[in-house]
Every structure is written in C-alpha cells, then in structure tokens.
C-alpha cells in the first residue's frame, strides 16, 4: 500500500500523450511533465518513456508510481491483455516491467476507472454516492462509483459502456464487434456522421477539409454555428444519452460526469444528452439525474490513481 504521507507519481498513459504529475499527500499536483506516447514505436520505447517520466518527476526520490493505462488490464497483477488501442503489444506485465526498471512500488490500473475515481475524490463527483463517469474522445472510457466505491466487477472489466452494442448492423468497432456505442459516438463516429451529411447534400464549411476531418474541427465548426457540425454533435449526444439512460435505468445512478476531447463542446453536447435521457429514462421525474462536465479534465486519471493506490491494500 502506498503511504499517504509521501509523494506519489501518477501517470496518465494516453494514446497520444504520457502525462505525469507528482501528487502530494493532500492530493495536489505539485509538479508536472508530459511527453508524446508515440505508441507506434512499440512497447519497449513507450515503457522507457514512462520510466524516464517517472524518474524526472521523482527528482531522485523513490516515490511510488501509478500508471493509469488503456485496458484490458488485470488490475490485481498489472498485466495488459492485447489492448486494442496499443496494436502489437500482446500480453505485457506492465507493472513487473516498470517495477524492475524503477526499483520501487508500481501500480497499474485501468485509465477510465482511475478517471472516474479522480472525479469522485477530487472533482465533479465529490460527495456523490453513485456516479457514472464517461470520457469521450478517440474512444469512450467509462467508470462506475456504486455506494461510494469504485465498481470494477468480477474480472476488473466492469463499466465498458463504450462497447455495449446499440445497433447489431452498425459499423465495425475497434474491439471487433459491430455497432458498439463507441463506433457511433466517439471521434470516428462523429466524422462519419459529418461525411454522411455531406454525401446527403448538406452544405457545410467542413467540406473544404473533408479528407482531414477530426472531432476537434467538428467541435470548432459547431461552436461557430455550422449547422452540419451542430447536427453531428446532436446525434452524438443522442447516442450517448440513450446509453446513459440505459445505465441509469439499470443502476439508479444520480450523477453523470462527462469528460474527454469531444466533451469540450460543452452545452452543444450536454443539451442533446440531457434531452435523450429525459426522453427515454423511466421515472425520470423521480430520478432527476445530474449530467455535468468533468472538473479535473486531464488531471483526473493522475489524481485518481494516486488516491486509489493510497487507499487500496
């Protein structure tokens, strides 16, 4: 168990960036560093970058290190099993590899769960008893707090809302299934919606960049009032809202926290989500769920793995 009275190095292992922070005993990030992940260069180079980042943030001290990593992960061992977002990695004992090179305590947990735990302890979920936290960007990550505890399930694989199927005939998802929520409501899905609207003859300034469309460009265009971009965000919000509604009907959760790059669109996304939840959730008058933006943004996973490792045995 990581001591509560010392520093802790938290690292958010993202597909694009490795972001690290030295977290003090009160849960404040007192030092930061980041480097590009460059996952395509392979696992040995990425692991070396994680080691260097941890050493840089530790400044000669042997602070424990926690990595919030893409899954699937066996959270009891820190072993990654063929993560779809890290092609070619196969099965990697990330905790053992890092502990061997850093020679100190190392923790490895699922990034979406750690984001949820960070928001629960330090952000938009403070004081909540139950919470669903969604990170919507390149993919869709999600984490669940139930009765005041992070719920990770029988195999540490709970809360994969992004890979619940919403259309059996939908597009192929990165996980191999067809029609997962992620294939509709993450970045690629939003780009596909804009291309479909253009193909249907709708006019948009995004036509000029159709081959290089990104979720970020769509978000900016929507903020500027582009009707096609607004429509794509509205559809994305509707898909997310229906998936959220299904989760709330099942678990009677009172709070949903939304983060990630696509969530930067703010009310342009939150409003259609709330509309879809209100339209589909049974007993919504009694439940009145709150759907709010993340408070911690990119810091959530760093703070989450620090607090989780300090509190877990």
Output 19 or 188, the one with its CB closest to Zn ion: 188
What's the closest the beta carbon of residue 119 comes to Zn ion, in angstroms?
A: 23
What's the closest the beta carbon of residue 179 comes to Zn ion, in angstroms?
A: 8
> Is residue 163 near Zn ion by the rule CB under 5 A?
yes
What's the closest the beta carbon of residue 40 comes to Zn ion, in angstroms?
A: 21
> Is residue 243 near Zn ion by the rule CB under 5 A?
no
Output 150 or 161, the one with its CB closest to Zn ion: 161
For the chain, the three-class secondary structure string (H helix, E strand, C coil) is CCCCCCCEEEEEECCCEEEEEEECCCCCEEEEEEEECCHHHCHHHHHHHHHHHHHHHHCCCCCCEEEEECCCEECCCCEEECCCCCCCCCEEEHHHHHHHHHCCCEEEEEHHHHHHHHHHHHCCCCCCCCEEEEEECCCEEEEEEECCEEECCCCCCCCCHHHCECCCCCCECCCCCECEHHHHHCHHHHHHHHHHHHHCCCCCHHHHHHHHCCHHHHHHHHHCCCHHHHHHHHHHHHHHHHHHHHHHHHHCCCEEEEECHHHHHCHHHHHHHHHHHHHHCCCHHHHCCEEEECCCHHHHHHHHHHHHHHHCC
> Is residue 47 near Zn ion by the rule CB under 5 A?
no
Query: Which range in 100-108, 123-131, 163-171, 207-215 contacts Zn ion by CB under 5 A?
Result: 163-171
CA distance 152 to 251: 14
How far, in whole angstroms, is CA 243 from its chain's centroid? Answer: 16
> Is residue 274 near Zn ion by the rule CB under 5 A?
no
**Alpha carbon separation from 129 to 90, 120, 132 (Å, rounded):** 37, 9, 11
Query: Which range in 68-76, 102-110, 162-170, 303-311 contacts Zn ion by CB under 5 A?
Result: 162-170
Output 53 or 173, the one with its CB closest to Zn ion: 173
Size of residue set near Zn ion by CB under 5 A: 5
164-203: which residues touch Zn ion (CB under 5 A)? 173, 175, 177, 180
Output 63 or 184, the one with its CB closest to Zn ion: 184
What's the closest the beta carbon of residue 56 comes to Zn ion, in angstroms?
A: 35
Query: Which range in 155-163, 200-208, 231-239, 275-283 contacts Zn ion by CB under 5 A?
Result: 155-163
What's the closest the beta carbon of residue 181 comes to Zn ion, in angstroms?
A: 8
> Is residue 220 near Zn ion by the rule CB under 5 A?
no
What's the closest the beta carbon of residue 153 comes to Zn ion, in angstroms?
A: 17
Output 27 or 179, the one with its CB closest to Zn ion: 179
What's the closest the beta carbon of residue 180 comes to Zn ion, in angstroms?
A: 3
Residues within the interface to Zn ion (CB under 5 A) = 163, 173, 175, 177, 180
């Amino acid at each position: 168990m990581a001591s509560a009275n010392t520093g802790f190095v938290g690292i958010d292992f993202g597909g694009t960036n490795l972001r690290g922070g030295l977290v003090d005993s009160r849960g404040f990030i007192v030092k930061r560093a980041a480097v590009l992940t460059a996952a395509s260069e392979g696992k040995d180079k990425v692991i070396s970058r994680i080691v260097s980042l941890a050493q840089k943030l530790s400044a000669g001290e042997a602070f424990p290190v926690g990595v919030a990593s893409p899954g699937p992960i066996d959270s009891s061992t820190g072993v990654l099993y063929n993560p779809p977002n890290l092609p070619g990695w196969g099965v990697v004992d990330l905790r053992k590899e890092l502990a061997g090179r850093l020679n100190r305590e190392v923790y490895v947990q699922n990034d979406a769960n750690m984001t949820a735990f960070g928001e629960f302890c330090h952000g938009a979920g403070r004081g909540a008893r139950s919470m669903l936290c969604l990170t919507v960007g390149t993919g869709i990550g999600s984490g669940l707090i139930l009765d005041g505890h992070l719920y990770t399930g029988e195999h540490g694989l709970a809360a994969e809302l992004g890979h619940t199927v919403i259309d059996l005939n939908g597009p192929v998802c990165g996980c191999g299934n067809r029609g997962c929520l992620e294939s509709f409501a993450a970045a690629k899905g939003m780009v596909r919606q804009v291309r479909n609207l253009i193909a249907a003859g709708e006019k948009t300034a995004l036509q000029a960049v159709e081959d290089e469309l990104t979720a970020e460009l769509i978000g900016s265009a929507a903020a500027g009032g582009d009707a096609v971009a607004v429509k794509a965000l509205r559809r994305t919000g509707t898909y997310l809202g229906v998936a959220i509604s299904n989760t709330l009907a099942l678990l009677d959760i009172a709070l949903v926290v939304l983060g990630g790059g696509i969530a930067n669109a703010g009310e342009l996304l939150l409003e259609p989500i709330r509309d879809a939840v209100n339209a589909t959730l049974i007993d919504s008058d009694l439940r009145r769920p709150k759907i709010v933006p993340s408070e911690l943004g990119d810091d959530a996973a760093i703070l989450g793995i620090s607090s989780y490792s300090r509190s877990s045995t």
